[in-house]
């Protein structure tokens, strides 16, 4: 019986040490080493005029669209839609919402994901499926 308790405790510890995954944690984790920075024109081709989805740091799903006229709209689950604007300068995209402030990012990508990386802090603002 003691061996069963020890085995169960060991499994519990391994689960804690592995740092369980969550959508919010995954969406804000750093990109892998194989992710490469994409250009401003590639950002335009991949994101402008298209809807993209992810989750906030608190785990709320959201949908955002950056329109061709420089406007942005975001709808976070449980909240009213917010309007804003976007601008690409060089290889940096800045998206600004009155309600949420401004985020300026470089974008890295691999075969499956895009990561918006804060151009000053180097932290992941968000990850979007490719």
pLDDT of the residue at 14? 37
Using CB atoms within 10 Å of the CB of residue 95, give its burial: 0 to 12 exposed, 13 to 18 middle, 19+ buried: buried
Tell me: pLDDT of 2 over 70: no
Task: Decide yes or no: CATH 2.40.128.640 for domain 2-129.
Answer: yes
Give residue limits of the domains in the chain: 2-129
49-86 pLDDT tens trace: 999 999 999 999 999 999 999 999 999 999 999 999 99
User: Is pTM beyond 0.85 here?
Assistant: no
Q: Report how far apart, in Å, the C-alpha atoms of 85 and of each of 22, 25, 58, 67, 80 are.
A: 29, 26, 23, 9, 17
Q: Pick the residue with more confidence: 21 or 103?
A: 103
pLDDT of the residue at 22? 84
């Amino acid at each position: 019986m003691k061996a069963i308790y020890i085995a169960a405790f060991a499994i519990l510890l391994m689960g804690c040490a592995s740092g369980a995954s969550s959508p919010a944690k995954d969406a804000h984790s750093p990109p892998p080493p194989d992710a490469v920075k994409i250009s401003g024109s590639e950002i335009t081709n991949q994101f402008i005029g298209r809807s993209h989805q992810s989750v906030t740091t608190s785990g709320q799903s959201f949908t955002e669209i950056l329109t061709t006229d420089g406007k942005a709209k975001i709808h976070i689950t449980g909240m009213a839609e917010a309007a804003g604007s976007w601008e690409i300068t060089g290889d940096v995209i800045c998206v600004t919402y009155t309600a949420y402030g401004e985020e300026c990012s470089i974008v890295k990508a691999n075969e499956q994901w895009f990561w918006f990386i804060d151009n000053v802090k180097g932290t992941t603002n968000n990850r979007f499926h490719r």
